[in-house]
Each structure stands twice: as C-alpha cells, then as structure tokens.
C-alpha cells in the first residue's frame, strides 16, 4: 500500500478479493478451453499505448484474441498501471500461467521486458519483509516460478537460448537464496519458505533434468551447489511445518 493510502474496511476487502478470485477462475477456464488465436481482437487504444510504452516504444501487435488476452494481462503487471498490491497480481499471474500452459502459441509472446517484470515481481518483498506470512505474495511468486518453468522446460529447450536460460536460472536461484535467508529470520512462519523452495526445486529439476538441457548454465550458475546447501534446512522446515 502506498504511503498516505487509507486501507479499505475488512468486509469490503474480502468482497473485492472474492470478486477477483472468481474472475481469475473464470478467465483461467476461458484461456484453457477456448481457441483464442481464432478470435478477432479490438484492443482499446489505451491498452495499445501502454503496451507500446512497456515495449520501449516498439509498436504493440494485437491481431487476435490470444495476443489481446496476453497483453491485457501483462499491462496489469506494469507498475505504471497498477499498485504494488500482490493480491491483484496473484490473480493476474494465475491467469497468465493458465494461458502459457494451455495455449502453446502464447510462449512466443513472452519478450524481454515481460521477463524483466516477472523477475522484478519474483524478488518483491512484503512491506514488513515477512514474505512467508503474506499468502498473496507467496501465491504470486509460485505462479511466476511455474511460468518460468513452463518457458524453460525440457520441451522448450530448443525455443530459447542459453542466455535466456541463464537469466531465468539466476532469478530462480536468487529467490531460492532469499527463501533460505528468510527461513532463518526469527518470528517468521515457515510455510511460505517451504512452498517457494518446493516450487523452485521442482522447476529447476524440470529445466535441467533432461538430456537436452543447457548443461553449461547448470554448471556455471552452480545449481547443484544450491541444491546441496538448501536441502538440509529445507528438510528441517518441512518437518517443522508438518508437526505444527
């Protein structure tokens, strides 16, 4: 929340959250079941202008329903168009994840500025620096981690360069290190740290578990070393959460 903003009453916030959750669920079903590339698109001029600005001045191409859905969602992550409210962004990233998983053509729409924004959101911390206690923030991070996994999974190895693979790997490892650091902070619930660590480990194994992975990135970024260093603490946190 920005400085000077007055928080809405709890009842209002709960109602808004329920509406956003329902909308995200409906949109997730739409992108998972509809043939969006065949839909015609007529984006609002403001949306095209926002996307163009986000693209560094490059003209936004919106020719069908798939592109319209994607760029509308991306525009909602733009800091110029939205607040730092992780509740909102957790729903947006949920729909984006459904889109990437169910519409293969959408993978080609993920450009460098969008990746940079996802990386930035992945490192975002709650105002009190207690990420693990912020359910919406943990959900948003989980969605982003899964999106990065979809983009760089074994099936997509031939579609992205080693440079992109390295950028994704570094972002995931940075978030893994922050989850480990947070877990050592006093008075912090371990649930969020366990969830994030679990998601990152799964994604990294998906990315580097096949024969056609970017092995040079795996070695250079010391992925195995990160696994070895995080697993003892991760096991302790899992046991702690399981017995809580």
Q: What is the pLDDT of residues 85-114, one digit of tens each?
A: 677 899 999 999 999 999 989 998 898 889
The alpha helices in 152-190, defined as continuous H runs, are: 162-183
Q: How many CB atoms lie within 10 A of CB 239?
A: 11
Contact 224, 218 (CB under 8 A): yes
Q: Rounded to two decimals, what is the model's pTM?
A: 0.85
Residues of the chain with pLDDT under 70: 1-11, 42-61, 79-85, 126-133, 154, 157-158, 183-189
Contact 200, 176 (CB under 8 A): yes
Contact 123, 175 (CB under 8 A): yes
**Whole-number Å distance between alpha carbons of 194 and 201:** 11
**Whole-number Å distance between alpha carbons of 203 and 153:** 8
What pLDDT sits at residue 190?
A: 77
What pLDDT sits at residue 78?
A: 76
What pLDDT sits at residue 115?
A: 93
**Whole-number Å distance between alpha carbons of 104 and 152:** 13
Phi-psi region of 129 (alpha: psi -120 to 50; beta: other; left: phi over 0): left
Q: How many CB atoms lie within 10 A of CB 73?
A: 19
């Amino acid at each position: 929340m920005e400085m000077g903003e007055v928080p809405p009453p709890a009842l209002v916030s709960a109602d808004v959250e329920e509406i956003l959750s329902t909308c995200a669920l409906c949109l997730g079903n739409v992108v998972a079941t509809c043939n969006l590339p065949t839909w015609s698109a007529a984006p609002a001029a403001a949306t095209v202008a926002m996307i163009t600005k986000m693209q560094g001045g490059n003209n936004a191409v919106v020719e069908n329903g798939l592109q319209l859905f994607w760029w509308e969602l991306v525009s909602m992550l733009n800091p110029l168009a939205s607040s730092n409210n992780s509740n909102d962004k957790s729903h947006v990233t949920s729909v984006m994840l459904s889109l990437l998983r169910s519409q293969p053509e959408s993978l080609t729409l993920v450009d460098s500025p969008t990746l940079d924004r996802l990386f930035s959101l992945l490192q975002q911390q709650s105002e009190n620096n207690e990420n693990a206690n912020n359910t919406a923030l943990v959900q948003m991070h989980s969605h982003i981690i899964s999106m990065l996994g979809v983009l760089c999974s074994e099936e997509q190895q031939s579609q992205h360069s080693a440079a992109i693979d390295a950028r994704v790997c570094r972002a995931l490892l940075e978030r893994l290190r922050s989850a480990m650091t947070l877990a050592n902070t006093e008075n912090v619930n371990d649930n969020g740290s366990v969830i994030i660590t679990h998601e990152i480990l799964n994604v990294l194994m998906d990315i580097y578990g096949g024969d056609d992975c970017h092995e040079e990135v795996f070695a250079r970024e010391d992925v195995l070393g990160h696994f070895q260093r995080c697993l003892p603490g991760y096991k302790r946190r899992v046991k702690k959460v399981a017995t809580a």
